[in-house]
Structure 1
Amino acid sequence: MTPHYYVQSQQFTGYVLETFKGGYFKLHLNNDQVVDGITCLSPESLSLDNFKNLYGLSATVLNNVHLRYTAKKLDDFYSFFRSNWALYLYLERADELFAMAKELLPKGQKNGNTLNDALRSIAQNLYNPSYRFNTKLRIRSKFEQSPHVSAITDYVMEWISDNDVLLPIYLQQAHKNECTHDLGSHPAFVKKKKSLIKMLQRIL
């Protein structure tokens, strides 16, 4: 095997996610479910520069990689992180997207908690051992319907539109009308609608 990049923090507590298809790929998540270790070993000569950008990102940002892995929906990290959904992670302006998103206020409001503050508050509740699982699900469900979600959705759509030259694989809002028929019927656009809540229920 040809050794490639190895990046590891000094913290060794957390979670280990491994796949062996196409080579060995390990993600190490700290207790906050942030990537703090990456190991790639492959019998093929692969360009792995982009994978270094995964370091320091939340598992949630990585398309809920921890949930998909736990639900046994992932067996090849090489393929997963080279899929179309992940391409935005490797742009130089991705850091700008994450930084601005944290400071977003609820949609239509000039005051209130930022998205970052709201998520921290929710995290404290979700890690509260006195709360039952159903209570935690209700907290998540309530947040999914909050103005913060509308704000981040609008901002991400605007960001993708501003970077359409670099991200031609994403459907632009301006072109949505041209694809109205295909969105409802073409296999390329058909996607199983599975909420985060249902995924959590299936796992836990």
Structure 2
Amino acid sequence: MATEMLRLFDPTLDQQTAPPEESLNLIPIYRNPKIQGGILPGCYYYLHVAKPGLDVPLATQKEQPDYGKEYLTGSPGGKPDYFRIHINQYNNVETLTCLTKQAFPCENFICLYGLHERFLNNMVSRFNEKLIPDFYEFFRETWCLALYHDRFSDFRDEVRELLVTSPGVGMDSIEDKVREVVDEDVPMNDAQKKQLLEIYASSGSKRAVETRLLSFLSYNYYHLPMYAKPGMV
């Protein structure tokens, strides 16, 4: 369609009887979540953030062996208010559901989609230790404000680029080393985790990531003054 529309705006283009081959058989990749929300009868504020795709009944999803786990606080109409988080098999946030009579920053909560639970201040371990009685309060604390910053996704892309790029000619990237150590069909054991951490620290990648993080906080310090940085102590 883009090829056909372009002819209307640029008549100098050569007329083609068929679209170019590279425009055929393209499968779109959807990275942004499906978002549903609004104010329901009874003055309930509702938000549902989910993975893009066909709607599948929740009961059917839970029957899948790779469903993951869900964590929730509160109950509909109860106290604290209802907040459900579904973590997939890779420990990334795949679904968020909020239902409360109090207004909440839905734009901020949408930013949590797709993040690893370690980004969320070790949410899973804290929840299991009963340190999170209310997700609404937990995600309003100052530690998570960087996650809501509009440049945080760019920072994540920069870190990923560091880990997938070879540090030099003939040298493996961290991603390559992970693929060598980890078998995709077998869960990672403690020895493999220890080995990867040693590689991560000795290769200089750990220092590079820390430097990028400090640069991110320093550059955006006007909006993120609650984080410590070198020279403050």
Under a length normalisation based on structure 1, what TM-score does the superposition of the two structures give? 0.70
Q: How far apart are residue 84 of structure 1 and its match?
A: 1.3
Q: How far apart are residue 118 of structure 1 and its match?
A: 5.8
Aligned residues: 171
Cα RMSD over matched residues?
A: 2.9
CA–CA distance in 2 between the matches of 1:89 and 1:123?
30
Q: Are 1:125 and 1:136, in contact at CA under 8 Å, matched by a contact in 2?
A: no
Q: How far apart are residue 139 of structure 1 and its match?
A: 3.4
Per-residue CA deviation, residues 63-114 of structure 1 (Å, 9 max, x unaligned), is 22122223333222112211111101111111110000001159xx545444
CA–CA distance in 1 between the matches of 2:213 and 2:207?
10
Worse overlay, 66-75 or 80-89? 66-75
Q: Are 1:143 and 1:149, in contact at CA under 8 Å, matched by a contact in 2?
A: no
Query: Does residue 91 of structure 1 match 2:146?
Result: no
Per-residue CA deviation, residues 184-204 of structure 1 (Å, 9 max, x unaligned), is xxxxxxxxxxxxxxxxxxxxx
Instruction: Label 1:97 to 1:113 Cα distance change in 2 as closer, same or farther (>3 A).
Output: farther
Instruction: Label 1:98 to 1:134 Cα distance change in 2 as closer, same or farther (>3 A).
Output: closer
Letter of the 1:19 partner, please give it. T
Structure 1: give runs of 5+ residues left out of the alignment: 180-204
Aligned to 1:41: 99
Q: How far apart are residue 49 of structure 1 and its match?
A: 1.9
Q: How far apart are residue 34 of structure 1 and its match?
A: 1.4
Query: Does residue 102 of structure 1 match 2:182?
Result: no
Worse overlay, 160-169 or 45-54? 45-54
Q: Are 2:86 and 2:95, in contact at CA under 8 Å, matched by a contact in 1?
A: yes
Question: Which one of 136, 151, 168 corresponds to residue 208 of structure 2?
Answer: 151
Under a length normalisation based on structure 2, what TM-score does the superposition of the two structures give? 0.62
* Structure 1 segment 61-76 matched on structure 2, within 5 A: 61-76=119-134
SS across alignment from 2:162: coil
Q: Are 2:178 and 2:196, in contact at CA under 8 Å, matched by a contact in 1?
A: no
SS across alignment from 1:156: helix
Question: Which one of 219, 226, 230 corresponds to residue 162 of structure 1?
Answer: 219
Instruction: Label 1:127 to 1:84 Cα distance change in 2 as closer, same or farther (>3 A).
Output: farther
Identity %, equivalent residues: 26
Instruction: Label 1:75 to 1:136 Cα distance change in 2 as closer, same or farther (>3 A).
Output: farther
Letter of the 1:157 partner, please give it. L
Aligned to 2:73: 19
Query: Does residue 77 of structure 1 match 2:135?
Result: yes
Worse overlay, 60-69 or 22-31? 60-69
CA–CA distance in 2 between the matches of 1:5 and 1:143?
41
Q: How far apart are residue 144 of structure 1 and its match?
A: 6.3
Structure 2: give runs of 5+ residues left out of the alignment: 1-41, 62-66
> Greater helix percent: which structure?
1
Instruction: Label 1:123 to 1:52 Cα distance change in 2 as closer, same or farther (>3 A).
Output: farther
